[in-house]
Structure 1
Amino acid sequence: MCGIIGVISKKDIPDFNAEYFEPLNRALDYMEYRGPDNKGLWSDEGICLGHRRLSIIDLSDDGNQPFHYKDDRYIIVFNGEIYNYQELRDDLAKLGHHFSTESDTEVILAAFIQYGEDFCNKFRGMFALVIFDRQEKRVVFTRDRLGKKPLFIFEDENVIIFSSEIKFFHAFNIPLEINPDSVLNFLSLQYIPGPATIYKNIRQLKPAELLIYDRHNNKTSASSYWNMFDYVGKSQAMPEIAEIDALLEESVKYRLVANVDIGLLLSGGIDSSLLATYMHQLAGNKVKAFNVGFSDKSLDESDYAKQVASSMGLDLITLNVEDISPDNFIESIYHGDQPLGDSAIIPTYLIAKSIKEHVKVVLSGEGADELFHGYDHYNYEKYYYGLGKISFDSAASLLQIISASGINKLEKVKNKLKSIKSFKKDTGVSRWTSILSPELTKGFIGTNQRLSDSYEHQFHSFLQDFQKSAGKLESSLMLDLLTWLPDDLLVKTDRMMMACSVEARTPFLDHKLVERVLASSGDFKQSLFQSKNYLRQLLKQRLPASVADMISKRPKQGFETPKVKWLNANLSDISSLLFSEENLRANPYLNNNRVSELWNDFKKQKAGINNRLIWNIFCFLEWYRQHENKFGLKG
C-alpha cells in the first residue's frame, strides 16, 4: 500500500518543471507517511509520476515505483495489493510473459498487456493505479471494485493531475473552490458522497471505473469493468452456511499474502472474533492479535477480546493508546483529507499510531455489517416498511405506545420519523444514518451560497437501479454498499491507518463474497440475513460454545464515541476557539447566526440538541481552518 501522485500535460508547457514537477516533488515529501520505505519520481514527455512505497510484497528495491516494463514502454504507479498475483503470474508465464521481480506490480502490467481493458477483472485485491503506455500515448486510471483505495483527479485544458489524497492538490497553482453542495451533503451525512468532492473541480474516480486519456486526440473515455447491480437477485437459493464459511476462509487466506507480519485488531466483537478463527486456522501461532486498552471505558472492549484469545491460545498484545487531545483531533482531521465527521476517526488514528510499532498490515472487519445487516438502522428500515401503510403521525403514535411498553430501542425510530417527512426523495436506509435531511440542513449553510443539488437525487437513482432486480426494502438495505461504506467507513480506515504507515485489509469485502450475498437479495428477509446471524452461526461452529454465545449476545459496540464529553472536556479549548464569533464570521459556507445559536444551546445543555450536527460542524470548522492554510503545502 502506498501513495501516488502525478501530472499529465495535454499540451506543451514551457515551464513544466517549475509549474508541476517541483510542486509534485514537494507533495511527495509531505506524503511520506503513506510510504516511508521509498520515494520514486519519473518525468518525461510532459508527464510526471510520483510514488511513495510501503513495502509489503517483494521487499527488495525491485518493487520500487514508478515501475518500468517492456523496455520502458509501460510505466505504472500503483497503490494497493493484488492478493492473487502469484496465480496470475503463473497463468501469464504460461502465455509467454517473463518476470524479473517478485512483485505484484509487474504482474499488473503483464495482465494489462495480455487482457487489455479487461485486466482488472482478473484481480482480487484493493488498488488505485495509473499506467502510461508510451507507445500508444494512453494513460489508464482505475480503482478497485468497492472503492477501498482512493484516487482523486483534477482536469483542465492544460493538465490532468491525480493524487491518493485531495489535500496534495494544494501544492499546485490550480483553483480549489469549495463546493457548497458538498458542504450541504457533508453536514447532512457526515461524509461527502463520491464522485463529488469538497472542491468543485476535483472528482473521485468511481469504484470499478476505468478512465483512459488518449494524448493523440486529447480525448478521455470512461467505462466500468464491474457493476454491483449485475449481481443483484441472480440466485434462486440462499447460500448455505458452509458456502459463506468457504468464501470467508478463502478471502482471509488471500489477505495473508505478504512478506511482512500481519496482525489482527481483536475487539472481541463478532467480526474480529470470526476473523481471528480463520487467521489462527491458516497461520497458527504466527497470528499477532492486538487489543486496545482505552482509559475511557466507553471505548474499551478488552475483556471480550481476552476471552476470545484465550479460547484459541492466541498471544494477545495490549496496545496502550493516548487520550483524546486537541493535537490528535487536529491530526485526525488533517489525515481525514476531505471533511469527515465520523468521530471514530480519532480512536482509529490512535490505534494506528500504536499498532505501527508492531506490524505493517492488519485485517479489519469493514463490510460485515453492510453485507449481513448488523447495524440497527437496517432494523429501523424494516420497521419503516412494516409501518409504511399508515401515516407518519400514526406510526409515531404507535411507536410511542410500544416504547411506553418497555421496548426503548424503538424510541430512536419514533423520533426519526418526524424528520423523515422533510426528505424530497426516497434515500433508502440513509434516512436513518443522516444527521438531518438536506432540506433541514440548508438552514445552516451560508446565506450567500448558491445550492444546486443534494445527494437525494443520487441516492434515489441508486435505489432505482437496485429495484430493477430487487424489491424496495432489499434495495434500500444494499444502498450502504455504494454510499456509507466507500465514502465514510473505508475512507476512515484507509486515511487513519495510512497516516501511520499501516495497511488495513478487509476480508469481508472480497468481491466474490459480495457478489454471492447480492445474488441472494431476494432472501434478505430470511432469518440468516438478520443481525449477522450468518456470522453468529459460524462463530458457534468455530469457537467454544460458551465464548461464541457470549460474543453473539453482547451488545454491538463499535466506537460509540462520547462526543459531548470530548467537546466539554478534552477538546473544550479548541471547540471554544472554532465556535467563537470571530472564527464563524470568517467562514462564508456556514450560517453564522444559526451555528452560533446551536452552539449556545449545546453549552446550555438544552434538551433535544442535535449533538451529531454540533460535532459535524466542529469537524468542518477545523477542516476549513486547515484548508485556508493549504494544509501546510504553501510554496
Structure 2
Amino acid sequence: MCGIFAFFSPQSVPQHASLTSDALAKIAHRGPDGQGWVTGMERQIVAHFSPALPADPPSAAANWGLGHARLAILDLSAAGLQPMASHDQRIWTVFNGEIYNYLEIRDELIALGHHFHTATDTEVLLTSYRQWGTECLRRFVGMFAFVLVDLDSGIVFAARDRLGIKPIYFWNGPHYALVVSEPKQLLASPDFRPRVHRQQILDFLIDGVLGHEPDICCFANVRPLPAAHSLQWKLGTEPDLAKARAYWQPTTKVEPQSWHEAVEKTGVLFRDAVRLRLRSDVPIGTCLSGGVDSSSIVGVAAREHSLKMKTFSICSEDPRFDEQFYIDSVNRHCQTESVKHFLSADRVIEELDSLVYYQDEPFRSISQYGEFVVMRLARENGVTVLLNGQGGDEVMCGYRKFTFFFLRQLWASRKFAALGYHTWKNLWNGDRGLWDLKGGFRYFPTWLRPQTFSWSNMLRHNWATHSRMPWQQRMGKTIDLHEHQWADLAHWSLPLLLRYQDRNSMAHGIEGRVPMTDHRLVEHLLTVPEAYFFEGGRTKRILLDALGDTVPPPVRYRRTKMGFETPQAAWLRGKLGAHLENCVRNSQRLSEILDTNAVANSMQACRRGQFKLPHHSLFAPGVLAIWMERFQVDPE
C-alpha cells in the first residue's frame, strides 16, 4: 500500500519537478519507505528518479509524470520501488494497494512464457496488462488504484478496485490534470483553489450523508474515479472522467440454494479471503472490537493458520461502551496477544485537527478517532499490516435497519406467516428494539426516517436550496432487501467507512486489509435468500455456522454490537462540545454557509441540557468548521 501522484497535459507542465516533489511530500505518511518518479514527453521517457538509481536532471520539459511514495509490504528490496517499468521499459505504472492472488496469476503468466525479476505484485500487474490488456482487472482479487502508461500505444490506463477500497482522485486544472491518492496533494499546485462541493456539504449538514455519490467529494471539481471503474485516455490529452467505464456490476438476483449450501459457500469464500490477506513480508496483526466480524477474522487467522499475532482494541472506562469481555474471550480462545488502548476526551481535542487533516474531508462521528488510535497503536507495536472487519455489516445485513427492511419486504409481499415468524424470532433472541419504533427508525438512513432536526433553518439564504440526489429518491421506494444491501455497499455506508479506514491507517504507515469486502464473498452474499441473513432471529448466523468453534461462544451468541464506539454523547456535553462550539463561532468561512452564532448557541443549549440534538447534528458543524479552516476551503 502506498500513495500515488501523476500529471498529464497536452503541453509541457511548468515546474513539474517541484509539483511532483511537493505532492509526494504531502503523503509521506502513506509511503515512508521511499519515493520515486518518472517523467516523459509524449512517448519518450525524459527522467527517472529512484533511491536505487542515480538521479536524472528533473527540469527537462515533460507533459506527463508518475510519482510514488512506497510502503514496503511485498519484496522489501529495492526491486520493489516504483514507478516500475516492464522489462523493455515501455509500460510504466504507479500502483497503490495489493493484488492478493498475485502468486496464482504469476504462475499462470510463467506458464504462458513470461519471466519475472521481482517478487512483487506490481510486476504481476505490469505483466498481466501486457498479456491480457485491460481485461486483466477481472482476474485480480484485491484492493488497488493505479495509473499505467503504455508508451507503445500512447494510452494511459487508470483503474480502481471493485469496492473502492483504495482511493484515486482526478482534478483538471487550467492547463493540466492531476491524479492523486489524497486531495491534500492538490495543494501542491498553485492553480488549485479549495472550494466546497455545495451539494455534498448540504447533504452532510441536513441529511448526515457523505461519500454517497461515487464521483464527488467535499472539494468542488475534485472527482474520485468510482469503484469498479477504469479510464483510458491518450498521452498528450487530459483525462475525462465522463468516459470512465464499469468493469464489475454484481447481480442482486436471488439464486436458489439451501441453507447448508449457503453456509458452506460462505465459509469457503471467507476463509479464502482471510488466507489471501495473510500474504505479507512484514508483521501482520488484526483489529479486534469483540464483534462477530473482527472476531471471525482473528479466529481464522490464528486458529486455522496458526498465526501468532497481536490484536489491537479500543476500550473504555465506561461500561456502556466497553467490549473487554468479548475481546478477552477471543484472545484467550485464539491465544493471541492483546494490545488495548483507553480513549480520553482530552486527547481527542488535542488531536482533532490532525485527524481532520489526515481524513481530508469531514466525518460523521468522533468514533473515527478510535480507529485512528488503533492504527497508531499497531505502528508503535511494530505491526505494518492490520486486518479488520470493515464491511461485515453491509455485506451480511448486520445493521438493525436491515431487519426492518426485511420485515417490510415480507409485509409488501403479503408473506404474513413469515413476517410473524421472523418478528417473533427476533424478539425471542432479545431484539427488543423491534418494539421501539423510535429506536428502530434511527437505524434507517436519515433521508428515509422522519425528519426531526437539521441545520437547514440556519443556512444563509443563498445556501437554503436543497434537493435529493436521484438514487435517494429511488431508494426511498425500494422494497427489495438486496437492493438496500447493495445501496449500503455502493453508496450509503461502505464507501465512507473505507475512506475513514484508508486515511486512518495510512496516517500511520499501516496497510489496512478488509477480508469482508472480498468481491467473491460480496457476489455470493448478494444472491442468497434474504431470510438467511436473519436465520433463527440472529444476524450473521450464516457466517457463524460456517466457522463453528473458530469463534468463541460468547461472541457466537452475543446479542449486542458496538464496533469501535466512543462515549461521544458524554464528550459532546463536556469539553469536546465546548471546543466544537468555539470552532463554529470562530470560523469565518463557515459563517458564509450557516448562521454560526445561532448554530453555536443551539449547541451550547444542548450541551447544558436545555434540549437534545442527535449526535451527528452536534458534531457536524464543528468538524466542518475545522475542515474549512484547516484546508482554507472557500464556500464557493
The reply to whether TM is greater than 0.5 is: yes
Counting aligned pairs with the same residue, the percent is 27
**Any conservation in 2 of the 1:85–1:107 contact (CA below 8 Å)?**
yes
Q: Give the secondary-structure state (helix, strand or coil) at the position aligned to 1:579.
A: helix
Matched, 1:443 2:457: yes
Q: Give the secondary-structure state (helix, strand or coil) at the position aligned to 1:197.
A: coil
Residue number among 510, 514, 526 corresponding to 1:518 in the alignment: 526
From the superposition, tell whether residues 450 and 117 of structure 1 become closer, same or farther in structure 2 (CA, over 3 Å): farther
Write the mapping of 1:475-490 to structure 2, written as runs, cut at 5 A: 475-490=483-498
Aligned positions, number: 592
Identify the residue that residue 423 of structure 1 maps to in structure 2: none
- Equivalent residue letter for 2:560: P
Residue number among 356, 359, 362 corresponding to 2:379 in the alignment: 356
Identify the residue that residue 135 of structure 2 maps to in structure 1: 118
Write the mapping of 1:545-584 to structure 2, written as runs, cut at 5 A: 547-549=552-554, 551-572=556-577, 574-580=579-585, 582-583=586-587
**Any conservation in 2 of the 1:524–1:530 contact (CA below 8 Å)?**
no
Q: Distance in 1 between matches of 2:437 and 2:366?
A: 22
* Alpha-carbon offset, residue 431 of structure 1: 4.2
**Any conservation in 2 of the 1:138–1:214 contact (CA below 8 Å)?**
yes
Identify the residue that residue 17 of structure 2 maps to in structure 1: 21
**Any conservation in 2 of the 1:372–1:530 contact (CA below 8 Å)?**
no
Q: Distance in 2 between matches of 1:91 and 1:407?
A: 50
From the superposition, tell whether residues 629 and 378 of structure 1 become closer, same or farther in structure 2 (CA, over 3 Å): closer
Write the mapping of 1:528-547 to structure 2, written as runs, cut at 5 A: 530-538=538-546, 540-543=548-551, 547=552
Residue number among 617, 627, 634 corresponding to 2:631 in the alignment: 627
Identify the residue that residue 210 of structure 2 maps to in structure 1: 191
From the superposition, tell whether residues 119 and 443 of structure 1 become closer, same or farther in structure 2 (CA, over 3 Å): farther
Residue number among 213, 220, 226 corresponding to 1:200 in the alignment: 220
Residue number among 328, 336, 339 corresponding to 2:351 in the alignment: 328
* Alpha-carbon offset, residue 69 of structure 1: 1.2
Q: Deviations over 1:195-217 (max 9, x none)?
A: 11112211111011011112367
Q: Distance in 1 between matches of 2:481 and 2:164?
A: 24
Q: Give the secondary-structure state (helix, strand or coil) at the position aligned to 1:310.
A: helix
Q: Distance in 2 between matches of 1:365 and 1:332?
A: 21
Q: Distance in 1 between matches of 2:527 and 2:506?
A: 33
**Any conservation in 2 of the 1:380–1:413 contact (CA below 8 Å)?**
no
Residue number among 47, 65, 69 corresponding to 1:52 in the alignment: 69
Q: Deviations over 1:508-552 (max 9, x none)?
A: 111111111112255557627952121332454434xxx414552
Q: Give the secondary-structure state (helix, strand or coil) at the position aligned to 1:211.
A: strand
Identify the residue that residue 37 of structure 2 maps to in structure 1: 41
Q: Give the secondary-structure state (helix, strand or coil) at the position aligned to 2:137.
A: helix
Q: Deviations over 1:121-156 (max 9, x none)?
A: 110000010001122221111100001001111125
Q: Distance in 1 between matches of 2:79 and 2:328?
A: 41
Query: Scaled by the length of structure 2, what TM-score is found?
Result: 0.85
Identify the residue that residue 316 of structure 1 maps to in structure 2: 338
Q: Deviations over 1:423-473 (max 9, x none)?
A: xxxxx9534788959x95643433223757433x12345789xx7xxx633
Deviates more, 1:82-91 or 1:20-29: 20-29
Write the mapping of 1:179-578 to structure 2, written as runs, cut at 5 A: 179-187=197-205, 188-193=207-212, 194-215=214-235, 220=240, 221-228=243-250, 230=251, 232-235=253-256, 237=258, 239-319=261-341, 324-358=347-381, 359-384=383-408, 409-410=433-434, 413-414=437-438, 430-431=445-446, 442-449=456-463, 451=465, 453-455=467-469, 457-461=470-474, 472-521=480-529, 523=531, 527=535, 530-538=538-546, 540-543=548-551, 547-549=552-554, 551-572=556-577, 574-578=579-583
* Alpha-carbon offset, residue 227 of structure 1: 0.8
From the superposition, tell whether residues 74 and 149 of structure 1 become closer, same or farther in structure 2 (CA, over 3 Å): same
Deviates more, 1:515-524 or 1:357-366: 515-524
* Alpha-carbon offset, residue 487 of structure 1: 2.5
Q: Give the secondary-structure state (helix, strand or coil) at the position aligned to 1:311.
A: helix
- Equivalent residue letter for 2:215: P
Matched, 1:104 2:121: yes
* Alpha-carbon offset, residue 383 of structure 1: 4.9
- Equivalent residue letter for 2:27: M
From the superposition, tell whether residues 119 and 343 of structure 1 become closer, same or farther in structure 2 (CA, over 3 Å): same
Q: Distance in 1 between matches of 2:482 and 2:273?
A: 25
Q: Deviations over 1:579-619 (max 9, x none)?
A: 32x43675312243652453243133233423321111211
Q: Distance in 2 between matches of 1:377 and 1:541?
A: 28
Q: Give the secondary-structure state (helix, strand or coil) at the position aligned to 1:149.
A: coil
Identify the residue that residue 603 of structure 2 maps to in structure 1: 599
- Equivalent residue letter for 1:29: A
From the superposition, tell whether residues 453 and 564 of structure 1 become closer, same or farther in structure 2 (CA, over 3 Å): same
**Any conservation in 1 of the 2:534–2:540 contact (CA below 8 Å)?**
no
RMSD: 3.1
Give the gaps of 5 or more residues in structure 1.
391-398, 420-427, 631-635
Give the gaps of 5 or more residues in structure 2.
42-62, 415-422
Identify the residue that residue 68 of structure 1 maps to in structure 2: 85
**Any conservation in 1 of the 2:170–2:177 contact (CA below 8 Å)?**
yes
Identify the residue that residue 107 of structure 2 maps to in structure 1: 90
Q: Give the secondary-structure state (helix, strand or coil) at the position aligned to 2:581.
A: helix
Q: Give the secondary-structure state (helix, strand or coil) at the position aligned to 2:404.
A: helix
- Equivalent residue letter for 2:11: D
Identify the residue that residue 587 of structure 1 maps to in structure 2: 591
Matched, 1:12 2:11: yes
**Any conservation in 1 of the 2:286–2:386 contact (CA below 8 Å)?**
yes
**Any conservation in 2 of the 1:3–1:53 contact (CA below 8 Å)?**
yes
Q: Distance in 2 between matches of 1:552 and 1:415?
A: 23
Q: Deviations over 1:285-328 (max 9, x none)?
A: 52333344444554432232222221233333445666533221
Q: Distance in 1 between matches of 2:341 and 2:481?
A: 41
Q: Distance in 1 between matches of 2:203 and 2:361?
A: 12
- Equivalent residue letter for 2:33: D
- Equivalent residue letter for 1:275: I
From the superposition, tell whether residues 53 and 522 of structure 1 become closer, same or farther in structure 2 (CA, over 3 Å): same
Q: Deviations over 1:327-374 (max 9, x none)?
A: 211111111111212322111111111111220001100111112221
Query: Scaled by the length of structure 1, what TM-score is found?
Result: 0.85
Identify the residue that residue 419 of structure 2 maps to in structure 1: none
* Alpha-carbon offset, residue 53 of structure 1: 0.7
